[in-house]
Chain A
Amino acid sequence: MTLRERLDVWANPILIKELRQAVRGRFAVSILILALLAQVIAVGVVLIAQNLSGNPSLAVMAGQQTFMALIVTVVTPCMFFIPVYAGFRMAAERNDSNVDLLFITTIKPRTIVLGKLASIFAVVALIFSSALPFLAFAYALRGVDLVTIVLAFGVAMLVVLSVSILALFIASLPATKPFKLLMGIGVFLFTLMMYAPMIAMIAQSVFRRNAFAGEMWTALGTFVASLLLADIVLLVLTTVLITPPAANRALPVRLLFSFMWMLTFVLAVAVALNTADTDPILVWAIVQLVLASLVLASAIGEREEWGPRVARTIPRPMPRRLLAFLFFSGGAGGTVWSALTMAATVLAFNAALLVPATRPASIDDQAQYLLEAAICLLAYAMTALLIRRKLLARRLPQRFTWTIAAALLILIAVVPPIIFLAAHHDTQTFNDYFHLVAIANPVPVPVPDDLPPVRLAVLMLWCGAMLAANRGWFAEQLRRFAPLDRGGEAGVPVLQPE
């Protein structure tokens, strides 16, 4: 097989289609011309301004100023227009008829997302490459080295791609257009937030000699690593969102979150050891609890039985089947996965604190707060599940179970403390009883030292009761979680046991 033939086999069909559309469409051409015009004007203005000023010290900085003018003029349209373009293109692909047609081919959701991403990369690279002649000119003016140029454009590319990935994710959400528009405004604000620090970081590296050294490398490394992690999560979530509902959509999410849990834990411990500060581990634990509770909110509304296409992939050996139960789409499995992740987070937090030399006095409180928050969130989810199953089974679609949990959280955890606060603030009653009013709030409320710590006991009792009340739901799903019986009568597959 020749190289050309190999490339033909490997080429992502979506990438080729997107590039053809970009070339035919007006958008890519318009933005390219806009960027070129902006570059000509920017370089011209910088050079004329330097000439007119007559200040010889400015001439030394001519290369640097020209470079900054170039990068701003090239990156700005990319940052603000490319994500919008990417979002619209993704939304077009998500159009029912289009996405259906793709799924009856051999193309995979992953290929669609990666193809989109690759096409965005190609368009951005094309626009960046339009700056090459001007960059050569800026380099010739001296003051900017090649490493700075490559790193500056590398960071800019990463930021543009990250914002575009966010736009792809929002375009994939199964939401109404107004909601997506609202989210789009959020992305725009986020872009603004990313834009200023990025330009500042590049400017700092350009105008400071040996800028990419020492602490700058650390800052840059952290920035790049954080963006890459966020990008991976968003790409997996986008892929899951465009995967047909009949598929095992939870598997990649739970596998990724499990992997990220471990990776970020190791990183948090490493940073804590390096800085002799436990805060990174606390932040890690809080973030993990939030993520696990989001998975939990989604899990309580997930499917309770498995279609044949998922059932055919359920392993037959019991140990592997039990493991698969945690990672496959399914309400009970998702709930157990979330509960185990929360428990593991609290345990890991406690275990990690044994390592650092310094141990703040408040650390025991923090460990208890985390445990209480985990139990509290699980209790809300289990209560919502019970209410939906027993009282609202006919009225509320299963996938909206999370709304009951949210309503309960507002009614029990938020409203009473606010009323109490309004009625009794600055009084002894407030100090004595506020922790009781806020007992079911996942956010910890300090308990006066002279009062017994009843919160943990109450939460454990509540959560235990709800778990017991839902035990049949767990047991039934575990029983149903069985591989497809391929020997069904007349070749018609049946789920076993039914």
Chain B
Amino acid sequence: MRVDVRSLHKTFGKTNAVDDVSFSFGGGEVVGFVGPNGAGKTTTMRILATLDEPTSGDVFLDGVSLVQEPEEARRRVGFVPDALPTHADITVHEYLDFFARAYRIHGAKRKQVVESIEEFTNLTGIREKLLKALSKGMNQRVCLARALLHDPQVLILDEPAAGLDPRARIELRELIKVFASQGKAILMSSHILTELAEICTGAVIIERGRILRAGSLDDIMIADPLARTLMIRAVGSAEALHRATLELPGVTDATWEDDEVTLHFAGTDEAAADLLAELVRRGHRIAEFRQPRVNLEQVFMNVTTGGVQ
């Protein structure tokens, strides 16, 4: 399964909720969809779930156009919205049975599908409980089960971990890992970036409807290669090394403490290698030269401005 989001635009009046968004991901990948509130995450996800129509652009699910064949695309997508269902007086089993019917799963197959999904999502023990009597974590689990009924190859999860307690979050995380191992393509939004970083293979950072960064988690974590932070550990005091680095081209700022110099450097990998060679040529004794790995939170804070539309 391949999901290709191509030049997606969505406007509400004069507001560009989604502005030229393009990215792609495949089966077995878990992509984190990250952005401040009002960035356009939910709108994009609703378009992917065929609930909203793009103003222009399209999404292809293994070549099936979401715009031209929404009915066909719907069979391939499972969607978990950020709001939980509010059906009163219905049990977990009846709720899942209802959606199985709505997906036109009939007869003995429906019974088999519902029971296997209940077992897979660990709902068998609470299948006769009313939805309104469930905790938020359990409700979220029911939502996931519902989204899996028609065996979709793409899962769109909008804030699935919001409001869950630690245990429920861990269980959800494990469940998502299982889905990925089954070859499903998963796009999930969350504000808990540390957790996203633990299960995602890629990320898309969006703000004001525009993609700021997209790619594999490794690519994302290496912050802008032309505005990187380098750490140099000298043998002995770093004071002289600090002075020297400030004279070198590409260094925009540098600080030192004990035997370490941390500098901000604007340049390519080759320029960084030249910088190291120059320092060695000048007689500085370097014990360590590295580019610290940043985490998703840092990248997010660096690339976003916090602006909303």
Which residues of A come within 8 Å of B, CB atoms?
Answer: 5, 8-9, 11, 13, 16-17, 20-22, 24-25, 92, 95-98, 100-107, 244, 246, 307-309, 312, 397, 484, 486, 490-494
Given contacts A20-B94, A491-B65, contact A25 B58 (CB under 8 A): no
CB contacts (< 8 Å) of A21 on chain B: these are: 87-90
B146 interface residue (CB < 8 Å to A): yes
B281 interface residue (CB < 8 Å to A): no
CB contacts (< 8 Å) of A96 on chain B: these are: 83
Residue pair A13, B102 in contact (C-beta under 8 Å)? yes
Given contacts A105-B99, A309-B70, contact A17 B94 (CB under 8 A): yes
Stretch at the interface among B103-111, B116-124, B170-178, B221-229: B103-111
Q: Looking at the assembled complex, report how far the CB atom of B42 sits from the nearest CB atom of chain A, in whole angstroms.
A: 11
A107–B105 alpha-carbon span in the complex (Å): 12
CB contacts (< 8 Å) of B13 on chain A: these are: 397
Stretch at the interface among B47-55, B206-214, B252-260, B266-274: B47-55
Residue pair A92, B107 in contact (C-beta under 8 Å)? no
Residue pair A494, B88 in contact (C-beta under 8 Å)? no
Residue pair B79, A308 in contact (C-beta under 8 Å)? no
CB contacts (< 8 Å) of B56 on chain A: these are: 492, 494
Residue pair B58, A493 in contact (C-beta under 8 Å)? yes
**Number of A-B contacts defined by CB within 8 Å:** 109
Residue pair A104, B50 in contact (C-beta under 8 Å)? yes
CB contacts (< 8 Å) of A102 on chain B: these are: 102
8 A-B pairs within 8 Å (CB atoms) are namely: A13-B102, A24-B89, A97-B83, A97-B85, A106-B71, A308-B53, A309-B67, A492-B6
A296–B150 alpha-carbon span in the complex (Å): 43
CB contacts (< 8 Å) of A486 on chain B: these are: 68
B24 interface residue (CB < 8 Å to A): no
Given contacts A101-B146, A105-B74, contact A308 B98 (CB under 8 A): no
A9–B110 alpha-carbon span in the complex (Å): 11
CB contacts (< 8 Å) of B32 on chain A: these are: none
Residue pair A17, B81 in contact (C-beta under 8 Å)? no
Q: Looking at the assembled complex, report how far the CB atom of A286 sits from the nearest CB atom of chain B, in whole angstroms.
A: 38
CB contacts (< 8 Å) of A312 on chain B: these are: 67-68
**In the complex, per-residue mask of B76-94: 1 if CB is within 8 Å of any chain A CB, else 0:** 0101010111111111001
Other contacts beyond A244-B51, A491-B60: 15, CB < 8 A: A5-B107, A11-B101, A13-B98, A24-B90, A97-B81, A97-B85, A98-B86, A100-B51, A102-B102, A104-B74, A308-B53, A308-B68, A309-B67, A492-B6, A493-B58
Q: Looking at the assembled complex, report how far the CB atom of B306 sits from the nearest CB atom of chain A, in whole angstroms.
A: 27
